[in-house]
Chains A and B, each alone.
Chain A
Amino acid sequence: MIWSLIILCGVITFLIRFIPLSGIFSSDLPLSLKHTFKYIPLAVLTPIIVNDLSIIENNNFFLIENFKLYAALIAIIVAIIWNNVLATISIGMASFLILSNI
């Protein structure tokens, strides 16, 4: 039974990723719709980031000692200035480690 559960979840996950690419839908999408695609990475990755920063814990705002939040703000500044993935990750991670060990 567990096996069928795993396989069912696998099939559903695959279909979610495949259906738009399956060609069932016309590839000649209207330009106005294509225009909205640029929002997709931003609109989906931002909620993941926000969730990982644990801004709300047990229905309370967790801001003061939230070192991940501070490190993320530093990373955002680094990303704006240098636009470099490795610099953003390393300075963000270093800030987090320093802040949480002070």
Chain B
Amino acid sequence: MKKWQIFKQGVLQELPLQLGVFPFGIIYGVMAIESGLTFLQALLMSSIIFGGASQIAFVQLLSNSTPYGVIVTTVGAINSRHLLYSISMVEYLNKLSLSWRVTLAYLLTDEAYAVSIRKFINHSDKSILHYHLLGSGITLFLSWQISTLLGVWLGNDLPEFLDLQFIIPLTFIAIIIPMIKSKSTLITVISSGISALIFKNLDINFWIILSGLTGILAGMASSRWDKKS
């Protein structure tokens, strides 16, 4: 496969997810304006932070006059899961130049990661795989900027397509189910899922990464039950 083909595949595989991402971006844009941000602040936050859930939390907290320290901590807590994404990408991306690594780190969000890690795991030629993440990442970036712009522009007229966001968890289901290939991976899914219910309801800021770490530890602990391949 050529670089261009891999890039195009990243773009194409990322496209269906935009049905869920796009409404999310519009909602963020609307909420950002309602929270009192200026047009430019609302718009540029999408490229400066570029992290959907954390931006929504940012503007929600801001409209409740939350202290700035709490906003920064919350954004960091929500995005802390990307640290794990980045760690799992090291073996595929560590040979790249600094500018490549900076660009791909910037583009490393949930939806791009989910699509590209699937490709990375199932592909043996590591040398041009990064074009896949570039393709999925740029697609998501553009869609996020355009939908933000639309939301900011719409202002208070919140359109009724909230349900389309359900496409995002459906996509993640489609991606993780084929990765469950052993007892330990199944245990990872169950334990991180249950932990998420518990930690989220205890109102812990770091609930995603705590649940993630619980899942990873449970997977490691149970790996001895896997059949040796």
Contacts and interface: CB of A to CB of B under 8 A. Distances in A.
Contacts of B223: 35
Interface residues of B, number: 84
A2 B213 CA distance: 33
Contact of B169 (A42, A49, A59): A49
Contacts of B219: 36, 39, 42-43
B89 A50 contact: no
A8 B220 CA distance: 35
A102 interface: no
Nearest to B120: A41
Given A16-B76, A42-B192, A93-B167, A88 B174 contact: yes
B220 A42 contact: no
Contact of A41 (B88, B170, B201): B88
Nearest to A7: B48
B176 A46 contact: yes
Interface stretch (B2-10, B105-113, B139-147): B105-113
A35 B229 CA distance: 13
Interface of B: 13, 16, 37, 41, 44-45, 48-51, 54, 58, 62, 68, 71-72, 75-76, 79-91, 93-94, 101-102, 104-106, 108, 110, 113-114, 117, 121, 163, 165-180, 184-185, 188-189, 192-193, 195-197, 200-201, 207-209, 211-216, 219-220, 223
